[in-house]
Amino acid sequence: MMPRRLEGRAAIVTGAGRGIGRAIVQRLATEGARVAALDLDLAEAQGSGGELAIACNVADSASVAAAVAKAREAFGRLDIAVHNAGIGQAPGDGSEQFYDAMARRNAELADGGRSDIFVDQLIHMEDRGWAAVMAVNIDGAFYLAREFTRVLARDGKPGAIVAISSTSAQSGEGSPHYCASKAAIIGLVRQLSRELAPRRIRVNAVAPGPTNTPVMQGIPPEWIASMEAAIPLGRLADPSEIAAAVAFLASDDASFCTGSVLTANGGSYFL
């Protein structure tokens, strides 16, 4: 039986259309919250199970401000904000060259030989590719936290912010912009937890390990197998398992947790 810890609360979730975001919407709603599901793709947000669906680009501060205002107006309150929207690659970020070199290198190694092929991403990364990932992953976290806090400050209400980081923040596995943005989430959460504590706004992060979402479907199966082999629990996470960690941090069960990073990675990395 699912707990109903969020009865009477109102939540806003970004990147809610699919994957982990959709699972978070469903978990918060099942626990009793009224949920506004925000996504670039309105049709996907509408299918997420949230009471309210709003088209929102988290990389655009005006779009975030409008969405937060709309949710506040619809629900008459806001208690929880979850920054989940995130991307791992963008046009011009060198990922095409990276995947191409990786495939050629793996083919040489599989042939039983050695490989001298460099697997570079950095030297192919254009400013626009770097900026596009940072804009969604970390600028978006800042915009959401700011707008949500402005509403709570006006209402004189406490609240909870949860941001989705990644094991990549600590392990360095992944691309330069992705790892940097996910580490920046942790710095932001730690700073905000201190600044916002007097307002009784708690700020925490969840750091998932590899999770079985649509984003994984673009990854070659042999890479998935090697990821699973590196996870002590022996499998990818289900999105519902990440959502459960978010629901805990959003709830009063985590009333003394702020500035923390909750890992959900099957034991693959200790933060």
Active-site residue set: 178
**Binding-site size, ligand NAD (CB under 6 A):** 29
Residue 58 · residue 83 · CB < 8 Å: yes
Q: CA angle at residue 111 from 121 to 107, to 5 degrees?
A: 25
10 interacts with ligand NAD by CB under 6 A: no
The residue (of 94 and 210) whose beta carbon lies closer to ligand NAD is: 210
Among 6, 35, 56, 254, binds ligand NAD (CB under 6 A): 56
Query: Which region, judged by CB under 6 A, interacts with ligand NAD, from 1-9, 71-79, 84-92, 243-251?
Result: 84-92
129 interacts with ligand NAD by CB under 6 A: no
The residue (of 54 and 192) whose beta carbon lies closer to ligand NAD is: 54
159 beta partners: 201
Contacts of 73-76 with C-beta under 8 Å, sequence gap 24+, read 74/36, 75/10, 75/34, 75/36, 76/10
Q: CA distances (Å), 215 to each of 62, 67, 160, in order?
A: 27, 25, 27
CA distance 174 to 167: 10
User: Which residues ranging from 207 to 266 are in contact with ligand NAD (CB under 6 A)?
Assistant: 208, 210-211, 213-216
The residue (of 13 and 196) whose beta carbon lies closer to ligand NAD is: 13
Residues near ligand NAD, by CB under 6 A: 14-15, 17-21, 39-41, 44, 56-59, 84-87, 136, 164, 166, 208, 210-211, 213-216
